[in-house]
Amino acid sequence: MNETMHTDIMKNEFGWEVPVESVPLPSKGAIYSPDSFLYNTETLQIKAMTAKEEDILTSQAFIKENVVVEKLIQSCLIEKSIDVDDLINGDRNALMVSIRITGYGSDYIAKHTCGNCGHHNK
């Protein structure tokens, strides 16, 4: 079953659509080749993470191949013709942060204990 058919079933049968977000690209597409789809592209659309993307994040095969990030971005991009390897790091990072927010929210809770004094920092 292709992605479009799956989306139609989710929408038509269950009344649920995966949310789509526009992500501003830090490069605004200025540095890409004029032959590239990314040339002068200021934003890219991503779909929110679903269980499929959770499976990508935990795939031992993708982890061993060191392709988890590429597979996750590719899965969430609406424009499937984009080669994730063509993205510059800043644009890739912007997409990853936005994808993370769609899956887990904008809060990022972290705790750290100082190695010198043992103070717990949030």
pLDDT (tens digit per residue) in 2-50: 555 555 655 667 666 778 999 999 999 999 999 999 999 999 999 999 9
25, 94 in Cβ contact below 8 A?
A: yes
In sequence order, which residues have a C-beta less than 8 Å from that of residue 11 and are 6 or more positions away?
Answer: 17
> Which whole-number Å values give the CA distances from 98 to 36, 38, 56, 87, 88, in the listed order?
23, 18, 16, 15, 16
Q: What is the DSSP letter of 29?
A: T
- Is the CB of residue 18 less than 8 Å from the CB of residue 7? yes
Which structure tokens are listed for 116?
Answer: 């010198």
Top pLDDT among 62 and 104 is at 62
